């Protein structure tokens, strides 16, 4: 079950700048000193200038969530969009219907009620790590404004080493997230939710400063409507890095407050597995479940060919479960989950 956060007043430009500098200084003190000196000059200049009239336009900003979690759209976490595959298994997705025309998006397997089509290099759980961390940093700024960070701090945040190969992997992932074209449609409480474009609106790495600049389009806010997004426990996810199927299961089940039975065939499709035979996927699934039990203490049980994954609910999900009306709704088995 997803989490709806109350709106907060956006910080000032100076506050956001100081927040960015403080974050960079924590992981890269030398660069932090340079930026702080530069920032002080900007502040001093701004104080001596006549302020421009503020725009009357509405500030659009992602919901705020705490540092130990990462916010992610349910539409993507409940689908094969970030496939449970290793990077070597990536494919180029899209269909060339007519020569000279743009490729047509391929349909991504998703939970009933969600329609996703995509053109671009296939995305996996590494890309999900990068996307979630970029969103985490961008939540402090109005959408369509630059979010700045160093590769060093970013790689540390997603639990990766810091070397030439890791910097290249990060650059490649941010480029994939920018260049891929996705169309997402779903309904929540009778209201339509739609997003079309690149998950990242723009991305650039400065050659001199080595700073990364990422921008999200304001339209992405549609994926964070109430009941459309979930807070993922980041420490848990990082404990599963390098295990794409375990990470996918962690994300998928985190979007639901109560466990429910699923068939292996259902998971085979929704995870984006490259296994052609279900029996081979069952072996992968068994190993992933063993990892979840060993690392996180999640308990899988089976009954008549259906899998139920039991896990402790988060604090926000526990509140949903205490709601008597919501508990009655959760007892109804969704149609799309029938094996």
Give the CATH number of the domain where residue 114 resides: 1.10.10.10
Q: Domain containing 231: what range? A: 13-239
Rounded Cα–Cα distance for residues 259 and 248 (Å): 15
Per-residue pLDDT for the chain (339 aa), expressed as one digit of tens each?
A: 444 444 444 444 555 555 566 566 656 666 666 666 666 655 455 444 444 444 446 889 999 999 999 999 999 999 999 999 999 999 999 988 877 788 889 999 999 999 999 999 999 999 999 999 999 999 999 999 999 999 999 999 999 999 999 999 999 999 999 999 999 998 876 778 889 999 999 999 988 878 999 999 999 999 998 888 999 999 999 999 999 999 999 999 999 888 789 999 999 999 999 999 999 999 999 999 999 999 999 999 988 889 999 987 665 556 556 666 544 444 434 333 333
CA atoms within 13 A on the CB side of 56: 0
> Where does residue 96 rank: exposed (0-12), middle (13-18), buried (19+ CB within 10 A)?
exposed
Nearest to 132 by CA among 257, 250, 7: 250
Q: Is 17 within the bounds of a domain?
A: yes
Nearest to 197 by CA among 173, 172, 222: 222
Rounded Cα–Cα distance for residues 75 and 259 (Å): 18
Q: Which two tokens stand for residue 247?
A: 């990470």
Rounded Cα–Cα distance for residues 332 and 38 (Å): 58
Q: Is 263 within the bounds of a domain?
A: no
pTM as predicted: 0.77
Q: Is 335 within the bounds of a domain?
A: no
Report the Cα 208 to chain-centroid distance in Å.
29
Q: Is 185 within the bounds of a domain?
A: yes
Rounded Cα–Cα distance for residues 65 and 205 (Å): 26
**pLDDT at site 99:** 79
Q: Is 269 within the bounds of a domain?
A: no
Total domains in the fold of the chain:
1
**pLDDT at site 10:** 47
CA 241, 2, 23, 210 dihedral sign is positive
Nearest-5° Cα angle at 58, 53 to 63? 130
Rounded Cα–Cα distance for residues 5 and 21 (Å): 26
Q: Is 313 within the bounds of a domain?
A: no
**pLDDT at site 3:** 47
CB proximity list for 163: less than 8 A, separation 6 or greater: none
Q: What is the DSSP letter of 110?
A: B
Given a contact cutoff of 8 angstroms between Cβ atoms, the answer to whether 240 and 311 are in contact is no
Q: Is 247 within the bounds of a domain?
A: no
Q: Is 58 within the bounds of a domain?
A: yes
């Amino acid at each position: 079950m997803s989490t709806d956060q109350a709106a907060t007043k956006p910080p000032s430009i100076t506050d956001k700048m100081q927040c960015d500098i403080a974050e960079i200084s924590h992981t890269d003190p030398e660069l932090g000193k340079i930026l702080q000196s530069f920032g002080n000059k900007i502040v001093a200049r701004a104080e001596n200038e006549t302020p421009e009239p503020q725009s009357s336009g509405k500030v659009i900003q992602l919901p705020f969530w705490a540092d130990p979690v990462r916010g992610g759209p349910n539409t993507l976490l409940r689908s094969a969009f970030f496939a449970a595959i290793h990077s070597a298994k990536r494919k180029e997705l899209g269909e060339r219907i007519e020569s000279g025309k743009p490729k047509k998006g391929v349909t991504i397997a998703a939970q009933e009620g969600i329609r996703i089509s995509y053109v671009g290099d296939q995305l996996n759980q590494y890309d999900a790590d990068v996307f979630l961390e970029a969103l985490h940093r961008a939540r402090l700024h109005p959408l369509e404004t630059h979010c700045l960070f160093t590769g060093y701090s970013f790689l540390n945040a997603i639990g990766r080493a810091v070397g030439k190969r890791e910097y290249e992997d990060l650059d490649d992932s941010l480029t994939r997230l920018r260049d891929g074209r996705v169309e997402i449609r779903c309904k929540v409480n009778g209201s339509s939710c739609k997003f079309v474009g690149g998950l990242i609106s723009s991305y650039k790495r400065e050659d001199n400063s080595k700073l990364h600049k990422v921008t999200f389009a304001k339209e992405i806010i549609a994926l964070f409507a109430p009941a459309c997004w979930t807070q993922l426990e980041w420490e848990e996810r990082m404990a599963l890095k390098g295990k794409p199927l375990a990470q996918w299961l962690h994300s998928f089940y985190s979007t639901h407050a109560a466990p429910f039975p699923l068939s292996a065939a259902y998971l085979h499709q929704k995870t984006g597995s490259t296994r052609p035979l279900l029996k081979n996927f069952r072996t992968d699934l068994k190993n992933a479940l063993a990892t979840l039990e060993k690392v996180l203490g999640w308990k899988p049980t089976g009954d008549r060919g259906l899998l139920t994954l039991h896990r402790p609910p988060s604090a926000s999900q526990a509140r949903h479960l205490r709601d008597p009306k919501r508990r009655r709704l959760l007892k109804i088995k969704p149609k799309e989950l029938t094996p």
